[in-house]
């Protein structure tokens, strides 16, 4: 019982990060579009990013297709770190880089756990 609750709490916290980010991009896309353009990322990708963040975030929350949703979000976090946070001279960017990789690591661990019969 306690492990089930802990599992849900962890998934809910991860889902909150991504779902709220996706909603923020819908309600106020301009800073995100500007940031994408600044890093030469095609802004036409913003709807796909929103769909990934909200869609995979909800899947992680409800525990359906969690392995694939967590894997997709983990890859997304690694890509985000490499594309947007490579200015290691800037302490904030360096911290964001490490945080993105840490979140990816947690998502990869979640994906691995949900590949096991007892975790589903």
Q: What pLDDT digit, counting tens, does each position of 67-95 carry?
A: 999 999 999 999 999 999 999 999 999 99
Closest by Cα among 6, 21, 3, 7 to 73? 21
Distance CA(44)–CA(8), nearest Å, equals 34
Rounded Cα distance between 118 and 48, Å, is 32
The structure's pTM equals: 0.92
**Among candidates 39, 69, 45, 74, which has minimal Cα distance to 57?**
69
Distance CA 56, CA 52 (A): 5
Instruction: Say how far apart CA 28 and CA 35 lie, in whole Å.
Output: 13
- Domain residue spans in the chain? 2-119
């Amino acid at each position: 019982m306690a492990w089930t609750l802990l599992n849900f709490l962890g998934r809910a916290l991860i889902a909150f990060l991504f779902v709220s980010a996706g909603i923020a991009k819908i309600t106020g896309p301009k800073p995100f579009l500007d940031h994408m353009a600044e890093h030469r990322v095609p802004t036409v990708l913003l709807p796909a990013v929103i769909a990934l963040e909200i869609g995979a975030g909800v899947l992680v929350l409800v525990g359906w297709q969690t392995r694939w949703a967590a894997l997709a979000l983990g890859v997304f976090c690694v890509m985000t770190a490499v594309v947007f946070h490579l200015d290691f001279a800037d302490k904030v960017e360096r911290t964001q880089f490490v945080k993105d990789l840490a979140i990816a690591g947690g998502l990869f661990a979640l994906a691995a756990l949900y590949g096991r019969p007892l975790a589903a």
